[in-house]
Amino acid sequence: MILAHPQKCVACHLCEGACSFQHEGAFQPARTRIFVHDFVDEAVYVPVACFHCKDAPCLSNCPTYAITRDSLTGMVQVNDDRCIGCKMCMVACPFSVMGFHEEKNVSQNCDLCGGEPQCVKICVYGALEYAEVEPVDWMLRLDQAERPAAAAG
């Protein structure tokens, strides 16, 4: 998963560009799977991507069983063939990190670029870090999950 360090983020949105370029072949922040939330007045910038939750609300709320967990990597993934574009997962996601692809009419979340996430690669500020899903300690995830809230006050 993508570990974020919001205190190092400068809100350049390079990660969003890199994400859409990787997945869409074009620069289109509206299609990104990592989201930088700028709280301009508070000077807080928070990048967030799918945490691949252990108990994933998107997965358990999907009416068509389109969201599954990869048994090998532990990643939560959307199967385009089964997704009907109802956006239930977007509503269910506690972190609002489920994205949506308008043309394909399917949900999309961070797929870690197959193990070489482009957002991490391009972030020169060290605000993003890659960690494999399974070995990450649950407490670390919790810490990550709490950070945006804490940072935003």
* Shortest distance in whole angstroms from residue 26 CB to other proteins: 4
**Other CB atoms within 10 Å distance of the CB of residue 88:** 19
5 binds other proteins (CB under 8 A): no
Instruction: State which of residues 2, 3, 31, 88 lies at the interface with other proteins (CB under 8 A).
Output: 31
- Cβ distance to other proteins smaller for residue 24 or 73: 24
CA separation, residue 120 to residues 24, 88, 131 (Å): 17, 28, 10
Instruction: State which of residues 18, 53, 89, 93 lies at the interface with other proteins (CB under 8 A).
Output: 18
DSSP annotation of 104 reads T
CB 152 within 8 A of CB 142: no
CB 76 within 8 A of CB 49: no
**Other CB atoms within 10 Å distance of the CB of residue 26:** 9
* Shortest distance in whole angstroms from residue 57 CB to other proteins: 24
21 binds other proteins (CB under 8 A): yes
117 binds other proteins (CB under 8 A): no
Residues within window 88-107 making contact with other proteins, judged by CB under 8 A: 102
